[in-house]
Amino acid sequence: MSKPRFELPAIRSAVERGAGSMTDWQPLNEGENSQVFAAVADTGPVVIRVSKRRKGFAVDERASRMLAGNGIRVPEFHGIGPIEDAWWCLTGRLPGTRLCDLPMDQITAAAPAVAETLDRLHAVDLSGTTGFGGLDPETGNGFHDKWVEWVLRGVPGSWPNVGSAENRKLLGALSEMVHADSPAVPPVRALVHGDCSADNLILGEDGSVGIIDLECAMIGDPLWDVAYQLYWGGAWPQMMPQARAAVAAIDDTADHRARLRFYMVTSGLAGTRFYADDNRADEVNLMVRRLAPLLETPPSLTDLDDYWLSLGN
């Protein structure tokens, strides 16, 4: 899905028409699918995101409500509204700095707090919900009857637009591997962030960690979030400390190693497909390098640098 490319006056007009006058508008770092701005409303500092995915904003709002009262800082939602063929979403702005914008020593120091925050997210009470996978914004239920069906949905059957025949061979082998391994994946139910990266975590001056952008929230295995951190930690150094902290709290068992690799590969394959569909060759090649070491049998979780966080050649 392409990112909107609206000029600021058009965005400001649409948002203020629906949510009231605001001042001090300025652009913020954008996401893969959204334009992002900061402003000041009567309620205080706010963030405005513009995307073609209204459902993503609605999932974000539902997941944020599910986290309320669990000791996790999340933005307050103020509204969602239309702008031509897209949507705007208005939330409060959490005080603090995105983890990815901090120096590495501060990122490393914050890693235990990040792991603790993620544990609290995974412990949210889901007793009133059903299903697996992506959240239904209306009910908080998962859309799928089986967790593994949701995980495998992003793994394509063929690999056009990925460059060389060598790339296609590797991606095809990994696709076959995860389909063969899928019957062993257990139906664990927890709230999962789905995109727990260093740009979706806010570190407050008091050391507390806030979570933003829950558009990918789902119901499933909490190891999915750990695997996501491991996968991207191998390609993005700012995520390495949080990945190490998350792994430190996991028992080093064959089951955990198998599930972590399964989720790392399925996440990587979905990312590769996204970049291939967008004809982003450099990103596709990076994904292939990151995935290549995962063909090997997973070693101990203590072997982080040579396997779990390794970027292949």
| Tokens describing residue 307 | 């396997």
pLDDT < 70: residue spans in the chain: 1
User: Would you state the pLDDT for residue 30?
Assistant: 79
| Cα separation values, 269 from 56, 186, 275, Å | 21, 20, 10
> Quick one: CA torsion of 184, 187, 192, 197, rounded to 10 degrees?
0
Q: Residue 124: is it exposed, middle or buried by C-beta count within 10 angstroms (0-12/13-18/19+)?
A: middle
List of E strands, 149-206: 190-192, 201-203
Global confidence as pTM: 0.95
Residue range(s) occupied by CATH 3.90.1200.10 in the chain = 97-308
The CA distance from 256 to 252, in Å, is: 7
Supply the angle between the helices 165-181 and 281-291 in degrees, to the nearest 10: 50
- The structure tokens 């239904």 sit at 136
For the chain, where do the domains classified as CATH 3.30.200.20 start and end? 8-92
Tell me the CATH number for domain 8-92. 3.30.200.20
Write down the CATH number for the domain with range 97-308: 3.90.1200.10
Tell me the pLDDT tens digit for each residue of 163-195. 999 999 999 999 999 999 999 999 999 999 999
Instruction: Convert the pLDDT of each residue in 233-280 to its tens digit.
Output: 999 999 999 999 999 999 999 999 999 999 999 999 999 999 999 899
What is the structure's pLDDT at 69?
82
